[in-house]
A and B are shown apart, each in its own frame.
Chain A
Amino acid sequence: MYRYDEFDAHFVSARVDQFRDQVQRRLAGDLTEDQFKPLRLMNGVYLQLHAYMLRIAIPYGTLNARQMRRLAHVARTYDRGYGHFTTRQNIQFNWPRLKDIPDILSQLAEVEMHAIQTSGNCIRNVTADHFSGAAADEILDPRPYAEILRQWSSLHPEFSYLPRKFKIAVTGAPHDRAAVQVHDIGLQAVRDADGNVGFRVFVGGGLGRTPMVGRLVREFLPEADLLAYSEAILRVYNRYGRRDNKYKARIKILVHETGLEELKADIEAEFAEIRDGVLTLPASEIERITAYFAPPAFDVAVGDEAVLEAAIAADPQLEAFAARNVHPHRAPGYASLTISLKPIGKAPGDATAEQMEVVADLAERYGHDEIRVSHEQNLVLPHVRRRDIPAIHAALAEAGLAEANAGLVTDIIACPGLDYCALATARSIPVAQRISERFASPERQREIGDLKIKISGCINACGHHHVGHIGILGVEKKGEEYYQITLGGSADENTSVGEIIGRGFSYDEVVDAIEKVVDTYVGLRETPQEDFLAAYRRVGDQPFKEALYGTA
């Protein structure tokens, strides 16, 4: 894992001091709200419906047990005993007091965490595949590059006042688990025929009110050019991105309005000027950063499979868990585990302080001290021995964290929605809870198979509804909550934006409507292996329309 060097540590603690001073000046009346707001946003502090909200960065979703315990401590001491893990691999606290936030930030700085650039029109927390460094299908660990991008983008003087926020995601595997094509820049690590590392570069993906799939601008960007090329993209965006209208300010609109070819030419021209300059990454620097992410010393495991199999044979709960929440690891005898933060009927992504501590303990005891946050709002233990899975499962079950639903219909992404968010037009959490309860039966979930439902409480699309196989968007109609359903979205290597199926449904109707969609899919799929997307792409929306609205 990356460790702060002296420069990083100094930088973060100086930032805490600076913010402490800003809060004091605000409370003393030396700063108005208009002056203070941009400053608090630069430190992850929002004002939400009930209170302030603090968003803390978890770079590329990686943290260790000590950091997780500190988050638990913050939850317990300064908040209401829980936190909300988000689709951007961050954590949000919903109830901090402004006067306590400098103390919270200084507690976090002690464990090398901060809230810098989790808000505002800057380059946000870089996200990555949650199985990085572990997945069997990985070409290379993308986290060193995410870290390099993080260092380059932190307080980058030229890019602190962009036209709008800017999000970068990186994956190192052919199967994209990081949704790179819905980011402003999406990077997919590849190797050329000679084994050199490079990136496929996508630009201009995004969700929000104008969802767009990123466009490929480079088939192979050599790793040494990663920063120079990123800088070229940001420069072009910074210069031409629209500042007159915040709904048209993201780079996706620039790509759309300028046209891909012209924009590509602009980027290449800018790149030509700065390439082979100071931003070129020396191999030694890549090596230095990569060393922080060296894989742990995996034991050569013997007999592990038999231990696990015997335990599975004796415990149907464990069998279900192993079938859904255990993922193939590159090292023999190892696996990555998904810890579902979607227990039936609970708020997606929420974890209590006690649960965070259980996860921290398990990571330390069985998981080489590593934890990940997934963009699907779950936690992951990336490196565990297969023989330890029964013990881990038992501990998780005791903490209410053993739901065997990873990737199933109840593994729902939902944004905070109107229960917390000041921008919301409808609630999303209780919709997720009711769907989860409707499909609670494990047999039924397994019969349905892989299915991604994603819910947002307004058009900003923090809940990724556009790229849900089934997406739900909450809107307000005549003072009532209304829910629009989209079908056919996907955020993997075949990214697509879902299409609205028809008129929306009331809060009371929406769960029945979702059930009809799911039942229709199960009824028409050719084999149980044909997943929702494949079936939808084969038959189109007609059968779903008929099921929802009749034949009219």
Chain B
Amino acid sequence: MKALTANRLIDGEVVWLGRSGTWVETLAGAWLLETPEAVAEAEAAGAEAEAARLIVEPYLIDLTREDGEIQPVRFREKIRAKGPTVRLDLGKQARREVSAA
């Protein structure tokens, strides 16, 4: 299982490609890519968003399901999805409440 991630051009915010083709600010909203077709479609959407100046440097990450929750495989991507492990008041982890949007 994969997802497509990038940073938003205008402010650098970490984003993932969402199910509806929009770019979302939390991993929970990411489109989970389970087939080669989905991956190809996502990558095309990424290239398009890059050309449209929404995001920079999109790339695929690996995901797993841990205790029913979707998690990035690499530690680096876990930190990107949450924020600095040394500053729990910063990054996405600091605004869990609004993550549903």
Question: Digit string of B43-56 for contact with A (CB within 8 Å is 1, else 0)?
Answer: 00000001001001
Question: Digit string of A48-81 for contact with B (CB within 8 Å is 1, else 0)?
Answer: 1111100000000000000000000000000010
B10, B12, B87: the one contacting A27 at CB < 8 Å is B10
| A28 to B10 alpha-carbon distance, docked (Å) | 11
Question: Quick check: is B79 within 8 A (CB to CB) of the other chain?
Answer: yes
Is B86 in contact with A51, judged by CB distance below 8 angstroms? no
Is B50 in contact with A99, judged by CB distance below 8 angstroms? no
The closest CB in chain B to the CB of A46 belongs to B12
Is A50 in contact with B50, judged by CB distance below 8 angstroms? no
State which of A117-125, A367-375, A377-385, A425-433 sits at the interface with chain B. Answer: A425-433
Question: Quick check: is A98 within 8 A (CB to CB) of the other chain?
Answer: yes
| A218 to B53 alpha-carbon distance, docked (Å) | 52
| A80 to B57 alpha-carbon distance, docked (Å) | 24
Is B7 in contact with A47, judged by CB distance below 8 angstroms? yes
Given A27-B53, A50-B91; A419-B12 close (CB under 8 Å): no
- For residues 29 through 52 of chain A, which have their beta carbon under 8 Å from a beta carbon of chain B? 29, 33, 47-52
- For residues 37 through 83 of chain B, which have their beta carbon under 8 Å from a beta carbon of chain A? 50, 53, 56-57, 73-76, 79-80, 83
Question: Quick check: is B99 within 8 A (CB to CB) of the other chain?
Answer: no
**Consensus secondary structure, chain B interface:** loop
| A418 to B77 alpha-carbon distance, docked (Å) | 10
Given A47-B56, A418-B79; A80-B11 close (CB under 8 Å): no
Is A479 in contact with B91, judged by CB distance below 8 angstroms? no
Given A430-B86, A479-B73, A479-B75; A51-B10 close (CB under 8 Å): no
Is B9 in contact with A50, judged by CB distance below 8 angstroms? no
Is A51 in contact with B11, judged by CB distance below 8 angstroms? yes
Question: Least Cβ distance of B84 to chain A in Å?
Answer: 4
Question: Digit string of B1-34 for contact with A (CB within 8 Å is 1, else 0)?
Answer: 0000001011111100000000000000000000
Question: Quick check: is A97 within 8 A (CB to CB) of the other chain?
Answer: yes
Question: Quick check: is A347 within 8 A (CB to CB) of the other chain?
Answer: yes
Is B75 in contact with A419, judged by CB distance below 8 angstroms? no
Is A49 in contact with B76, judged by CB distance below 8 angstroms? yes
Is B56 in contact with A419, judged by CB distance below 8 angstroms? no
Is B86 in contact with A481, judged by CB distance below 8 angstroms? no
B9, B73, B75: the one contacting A481 at CB < 8 Å is B75
Q: Can you name 9 extra interface pairs (CB under 8 A) apart from A347-B86, A481-B75?
A: A47-B56, A49-B76, A49-B79, A97-B10, A99-B10, A347-B87, A418-B76, A427-B85, A476-B75
